[in-house]
Structure 1
Amino acid sequence: MPTEVILPKVDMDMATGRISRWFVEEGAAVKKGDVLFEIETDKAAMEIDAPASGTLANVTGREGVDIPVGEAVAWIYAEGETPAKADAAPIPAVPSVPGPAAPPAPAANGAAPAVSASQIEPVGSEPVAGIRATPLARRLARQRNVDLAALDGTGPKGRVQAKDVERAATVAAEARERAPAVVPAAGHTPARGDVEVRARAVGQATAPITRQSSAASTWLRQGEGTPLVLIHGFGSETASWRPLLTAFDRAMPILSIDLPGHGAAVDLPAGGFDDLVAHVESELAAQNIGVAHLAGHSLGGAAAAAVAAGVAVEARSLLLIAPAGLGPEINTGFTEGFAAAHDETALRTWMRELVADPAVLSDGFVNATLRARADGRLPAAQTRLGPLLFSQATQRFSVRGLFERLAMPVKVIAGGADRIIPSRHVQGLPGHVGVHLFAGLGHMPQLEAREAVARLLAEIVR
């Protein structure tokens, strides 16, 4: 029997919800755990994953329409099953998924309840009654912690649009960058290697963590203890960590930071690698994070290493996946080609270069990437940024000299079949650094071998 996809209950008092966008088209093949659609209520915006693998069909849940909780919005047909006609939705004899469960109770400190690793924690403020704003503008305002009531809408009759929210978020981010830095505590000296790391104000280590999204950071999971901070690679964004988190079951707070020119920070400028490092430190300061576990992929790995070597945060551990900054060579044909890609053919072609086995790139993953780049803003931003970081097959920065000074547990993961950054760059690191080379993997071990990478991460995140 086909698996029913229902509109889940994501709020205690929720009776209806709206699908703000579908990530998968009808008739597309999906894998269990792929993001299907985003649901939006007055208090939350979160992505809902596929409950089974198969073909998505009979999509009845329309975008922007109130839908009762528990109502079927689509069906997933397994291999060999024939989708029902569009005017006759299938009725399974036995429900394929359990009915919507009540959400977990709020934490004692009033923080938002935790959700599963397959969902993004709802953050930000509720829409203000009486404010005219598009659904997308409301969602962006929640994600970027922008007060809708303070905005002058540029749409019809003063309606606030997405670009109004983005403009306000950019102004706020620039204001934070101009804020004076706090003098580092006595006894702390910035580490210096091949990159000069600039300290940023982060407040006292005992200050409460601000569990809200900023213009460029998103809490993917709530929890207690030292947070894990994730930094993506060039051309990627926060959503790229989702596959790894499905295999990482530690109950700890997890923050993902979008680099300038990427994801939610697409409009933030950067003049080079040092600016990326400063941006990460600024986002940590905005969240009052003084102690953290750090993990980064590719370009984000280099940024994570630079942050760990500085004084802006006390890094308890460091996990680097296919990190940049360890050697001179890089495939700039890929960085330039992917940066400019915004149609499906080009995007699929370049994404295949990231992995040893293209089968791990699900249609849902590719389609979500394509939708994010469709308006041309990401390609334009990354085409500007790329040459400042990589040119003439060469990386324009290095973090290799910082590793001698890293006192925390460090693991480096690389794929022997990496076609973007040569895996030989991980050779010759100091003896205290754990190096894990997977012979048959490409540039994205966290996607190609998520369970193995999750285990390695769990070993140092204590």
Structure 2
Amino acid sequence: MNERIIPVVMPKWGLSMKEGTLTEWHVKEGDTIEVGQIIMDVETDKIASEVEAPDAGLLRRCIGQEGDVYGVQALLGVLAPDDVSDQDIASFIASYQEPATDEGNDDEKQTAYQYLDTNAGKIRYSYRQGEGKPFVLIHGFGGDLDNWLFNIDTLNEKGPVLVLDLPGHGQSTASTEALTIELLSQSVVDVMTANDIHKAHLVGHSMGGLICGHLALTHPDIAHSLSLIASAGLGTDINTHYIHGFVSARNRRELKPILQLLFADPALVTRNLVDDVLKYKRLDRIHHLLDTLSAHLFKETQQRSVISEQLDQLSLPILTLWGEQDLVIPSQHAASLTKANIHVLSAAGHMVQMEAASAVNAAILAHTQ
């Protein structure tokens, strides 16, 4: 096979993705592509997102058709220099072997997620092995481990990665009627301990950032570093319209405009994403759990727990990372820690780790070297 020919394939985001819809090409045959350039839009059953080119080169063929569904790693295009013949490219396309969509499914279903019984509930998690210092990724209020779809693989190249659903979130249960930051933080410690992780790079989004900070303050030896993404706990301001709207929404019409507040590009909120969140919110006790957790975290229009002064006293590398168009927690909070490494990314909102995944991943990796 000609090693100068590079395939452009359907990406795999997260543990459960099997296929995606190629919704739009942003490049055409004959274009020269740079690494990191947006080349297409893909929609999965979780989210719609732009796809950045992992390789540079001349786009000789666009094979994937807009609107069609393709399995992960399906051939969508071909990069090759001008002097590679059309015959060689045709031979490459004809001989390309797309991985079987059902290969390893049974094993994957058994090993992709694990469960741990804790005092806070049964916790769903996934632990990717690797070489280096581990990363622990903690999602925010109402979120789940799929909030890290676009970050797990890149971080896993530099170390093991642990992701989990906090109690009462995702597919984790809650054994109590009232969730607190202390209880949520201890559940993270329990999962880390069960996987023999005693110290890690803690990465938290929104409420998950507050949990990371709480862990660093209460368990001084647990963190190599903190990466706080659109983090709670660094200022009093919070868009409680989003919080109350998320808790109270009972149908698609009510929930969709609330979820759109999470993104700079509201088109990223797909029907499937709304349906997934609705399915979660209709689980037994979830409304009560979110309502009590909201009351624990927020009072009227303000956050109850602000820990920026305490974090500033730590001799610990801290990264604050925000989307400039965050409509939930103001991006100005990124500068609330005087010693932090600050990144504010334009054209991204509260879910900056999804909307600007490459930039977020690069910042975390540079921070944790």
Same fold by TM-score greater than 0.5: yes
| d(CA) in 2 for partners of 1:99, 1:344 | 36
The one-letter code matched in structure 1 to 2:305 is F
- Give 1:314 deviation, angstroms: 2.9
> Which position in structure 2 is the counterpart of 1:173?
118
1:420-439 to structure 2, matched below 5 A, reads 420-430=328-338, 432-439=339-346
Report the equivalent of 2:165.
258
Q: Which amino acid aligns with 1:357?
A: D
Quick one: which amino acid aligns to residue 99 of structure 2? P
Q: Deviations over 1:221-250 (max 9, x none)?
A: 221222100000111111111023355462
What is the CA–CA distance in structure 2 between the aligned matches of 1:330 and 1:299, rounded to whole Å? 11
What CA RMSD, in Å, does the superposition of the two structures yield over aligned residues? Answer: 4.3
| Cα distance in 2 for residues equivalent to 1:313 and 1:103 | 43
Aligned residue runs from structure 1 range 140-289, under 5 A: 143-144=114-115, 172-174=117-119, 215-245=122-152, 248=155, 250-269=157-176, 270-289=178-197
Alpha-carbon separation, structure 2, partners of 1:399 and 1:97: 54
Change (3 A) 1:216 1:313: farther
Distance 1:375 1:98, change over 3 A: farther
Answering whether residue 37 of structure 2 is matched by residue 55 of structure 1, we say no
How many pairs does the alignment contain? Answer: 310
Cα contact 2:239–2:328 (8 A) shared by 1: yes
- After superposition, residues 109-128 of structure 1 pair within 5 angstroms as 122=108
Change (3 A) 1:302 1:76: same
Tell me which residue corresponds to 2:44. 34
Given the two structures, how large is their TM-score scaled by the length of structure 1? 0.57
Indicate how the Cα distance of structure 1 residues 97 and 361 shifts in structure 2: closer, same or farther if over 3 A, else same: farther
What SS class does the counterpart of residue 150 from structure 2 fall into? helix
Q: Deviations over 1:3-30 (max 9, x none)?
A: x99xxxx9xxxxxxxxx99999x9x999
Structure 1 letter corresponding to 2:281: R
Cα shift readout 1:239-294 (whole Å, capped 9, x = no counterpart) = 11102335546242110132222113242434422222222223222322111111
8 A contact 1:301–1:324 mirrored in 2 = yes
2-side partners of 1:343 and 1:54: how far apart?
30
Q: In 2 relative to 1, CA 247–97 (structure 1 residues): closer, same or farther, beyond 3 Å?
A: farther
The correspondence of residues 350-369 of structure 1 with structure 2, limited to 5 A, is 350-369=258-277
Residue 344 of structure 1 aligns with which residue?
A: 252
Change (3 A) 1:23 1:100: closer
1:290 to 194, 198, 220: 198
| CA apart distance, 1:399 | 1.5
3-state SS in 1 of match to 2:67:
strand
Check conservation: 1:329, 1:393, Cα contact below 8 A.
Answer: yes
Q: Match for residue 55 of structure 2?
A: none
Hey, what's the Cα distance between the residues in 2 that align with 1:332 and 1:248?
32
Alpha-carbon distance in structure 1 between the residues aligned to 2:156 and 2:181 = 32
The verdict on how the C-alpha distance between 1:249 and 1:225 changes in structure 2, with shifts beyond 3 A counting, is closer
State how far apart, in whole Å, the 2-side matches of 1:345 and 1:313 are: 46
Normalised by the size of structure 2, how large is the TM-score? 0.69
Partner of 1:445: 352
Unpaired stretches in structure 1, ≥5 consecutive residues: 11-19, 37-50, 60-71, 79-93, 105-114, 126-138, 146-171, 178-213
* Cα offsets for 1:341-389 (capped at 9, x unmatched): 3422222111111112112334544443344334455344212321121
Deviations 1:66-124 (A, max 9, x none): xxxxxx99x9999xxxxxxxxxxxxxxx77973337999xxxxxxxxxx9xxx9x9486
Between the aligned partners of 2:298 and 2:287, the Cα distance in structure 1 is 16
